[in-house]
Amino acid sequence: MSTRSTPLWIAVGILLLLAAVPPLVVPAYTRIDPTLWGFPFYFWFQFLLVLFAALCTSIAFLVAREAFRRDRAARGQAPRDGDAPGNGGEPL
């Protein structure tokens, strides 16, 4: 791993931790109030956590893809087929 992409890998780790840790802290959201459309806080907050985790994971994927691209370039390796412009491999 090159030092040029190290901050990106740190960002990936932080994003994945942000997605994984909140659902584990159940006492923080084990309550009924406030309700949303009749659903207790416990249930609608878990649903929001799912959406939040999906967003964090998607962003982490995009950042990791850029980090892989930079690592390959730093080692002098050719980009993979998916990394070519127009194939979804454009940098962020």
**Over its length of 92 residues, how does the chain's per-residue pLDDT go in tens digits?**
546 788 999 999 999 999 999 999 989 888 888 988 888 988 899 999 999 999 999 999 999 999 888 888 888 877 776 555 555 555 55
Residue 62's nearest CA partner among 6, 18, 11, 1 is 11
C-alpha to C-alpha distance for 56 and 47, rounded to whole angstroms = 14
Residue 39, helix vs strand vs coil = strand
What pLDDT, on the 0 to 100 scale, is given for residue 4? 79
- What end-to-end distance do the CA atoms of the chain give, in Å? 19
- H-helix segments, 1-40: 6-20
Tell how far CA 71 is from the center of its chain.
Answer: 19
DSSP 32: -
What pLDDT, on the 0 to 100 scale, is given for residue 78? 72
What pLDDT, on the 0 to 100 scale, is given for residue 60? 96
